[in-house]
Structure 1
């Protein structure tokens, strides 16, 4: 998989190359796209499947950048790479077209794994942020207002979706909620039907892009 970094700092590019060098069998850093460049056609020129947008909290607005990249490079998958840990930023970035939101605290192997999953069609949120989102959903459920109710999801279905966002498997969800695995599968079928999707990847994408945990 070929990756292009969208950033104006050459040191960031060199650091990214170094971090991913041991994983070049999975991810190759093809080059750099400057923010001052004409972004249209950037991924084609570099043969990149993923555009990794390195965003400083005090710098380029991640939401504006995600929107620009998604509009001019619809064939490439846009990933925000930042230190900004606002749940609202995650929801907004995904809603505006980003396919991933990853924190710079990730190690090289974790970053490579996340990028491969995104290339394969998943929407990936950094594990730290996914955990916070799931905990927020659980707290809302305790108070009687659960995320997803506006989409027709029951309280239990919302709990299952929150764990999906956190990357848990059916078996892990069953253990976490003290349910049978077949019961979890039944909940998933109901969730997919209500969200009009066919799999967990698209269910997670809808949940995140609609920002139902905010």
Structure 2
């Protein structure tokens, strides 16, 4: 089995060291490089060809959001996982809009972070329900909605319902229970939404739901 090639980008050497040491014991993961700034990361990517870039947000010089936008606009094909802390909520939306496939919380166990890398490398998105709901709660607290709502034409009534529920952070199992459908049908609905809306992953569906005004706001 070809290991997942990982680039670690964080200005804290201890975090990089912890992930590197743990990954060394995982035959399916290979750390191919480390960087302490966004600029260093962009310089390394074409040379080490990572599958997944674990990217911190707050770094000197080019931050993780800027680096993510530059990376996803390129041709490397690498997927980005943002490293964040709970007080980084204001940055998360911008990071996902920049093209990140998900985000990790820094106080997660290192083993959980490695598991998240595997999830993203497989083509899925890291969108843990509890974290998704925190993100949606942040959207709801924003004083103003998006300046221009995104059109989501071409969806059936059921697909709009599913998109709204995905935007609220429901998992496929929760979708199935809420809509009284099978797990397979729930997965099929999500797959059709990804195709129709040209979304990369479930994270992007959350953003579409918010930008289309389908996610309820508070206050």
Is the shorter-chain TM-score for this pair beyond 0.5, marking a shared fold?
A: yes
> Match for residue 179 of structure 1?
180
Shift of 1:14: 0.9
Structure 1 range deviating more: 30-39 or 108-117: 30-39
**Which residue, 3, 10, 18 being the options, matches 2:6?**
3
SS at match of 2:19: helix
Give yes or no for contact 1:50–1:79 (8 Å, CA) kept in 2.
yes
> Match for residue 192 of structure 1?
193
> Match for residue 143 of structure 1?
none
SS at match of 2:18: helix
**Which residue, 79, 89, 94 being the options, matches 2:91?**
89
Instruction: Write out per-residue CA displacement over residues 107-157 of structure 1, whole angstroms, 9 at most, x where no aligned residue.
Output: 2332222211211222323543213246679x89xxxxxxx9942468864
Structure 1 residues without counterparts, runs of 5 or longer: 141-147
> Match for residue 16 of structure 2?
13
Shift of 1:202: 4.0
Report the CA distance shift for 1:119/1:36 in structure 2 as closer, same or farther (over 3 A): closer
RMSD: 4.1
Shift of 1:12: 2.4
Shift of 1:81: 0.8
Instruction: Write out per-residue CA displacement over residues 71-124 of structure 1, whole angstroms, 9 at most, x where no aligned residue.
Output: 456321122112145555333212212222111122233222221121122232
TM-score calculated relative to the size of structure 2:
0.67
SS at match of 2:50: coil
SS at match of 1:97: coil
> Match for residue 80 of structure 1?
82
TM-score calculated relative to the size of structure 1:
0.68
User: Structure 2 CA distance, aligned partners of 1:186 and 1:52?
Assistant: 27
